[in-house]
Amino acid sequence: DAGVTQSPTHLIKTRGQQVTLRCSPKSGHDTVSWYQQALGQGPQFIFQYYEEEERQRGNFPDRFSGHQFPNYSSELNVNALLLGDSALYLCASSLKGTTNEKLFFGSGTQLSVL
C-alpha cells in the first residue's frame, strides 16, 4: 500500500523564480492538502483540493496556486519566489466524506530560496 509520495525531496531556487512541487496521495484517498512548515513552527495550511477543485485556502497570497488531476495527484506552484518561502512543504492526503478523516503526510519537499 503506497503512502503519500512527494517530489522532489530537495530544491534550491533563487528569488523571483517559479517552482512546482508534486504529490501523489495514499492509495484510496481523494483529497490532497498542502502545508508549509517553517523551521521550528507547526504546519501552516496552504490549501486543499478535492474533486479537482480548491475547496479551502489558508492565509497565503495568490503566488501560491495548485491543481489536482483526475487521478487525485496534485501540484503546488509558487511564483515570484521570496526568501521567506524557504520551508518544508508537506503534502497530506485524506479520504473526504468521513467524520473520522485523518491526514497522512508525505516526506515533504525542502525548498531553499537564495
Nearer to another protein, 10 or 84 (CB): 10
- Work out whether 96 is an interface residue with another protein (CB under 8 A): yes
Region for residue 97 given its phi and psi (left: phi exceeds 0; alpha: psi -120 to 50; beta: otherwise) = left
Looking at residues 8 to 67 of the shown chain, list those that interact with another protein (rule: CB under 8 A): 33, 35, 40-45, 48, 55-56
Q: Nearest distance from residue 75's CB to another protein, in Å?
A: 18
Looking at residues 66 to 95 of the shown chain, list those that interact with another protein (rule: CB under 8 A): 88, 90, 94
Q: Nearest distance from residue 24's CB to another protein, in Å?
A: 14
Sign of the Cα pseudo-torsion (5, 25, 98, 43, in order): positive
Strand partners, 113: 13
By rule CB under 8 A, what count of residues binds another protein?
25
**Alpha-carbon distances of 5 from 33, 62, 85, rounded to whole Å:** 13, 25, 21
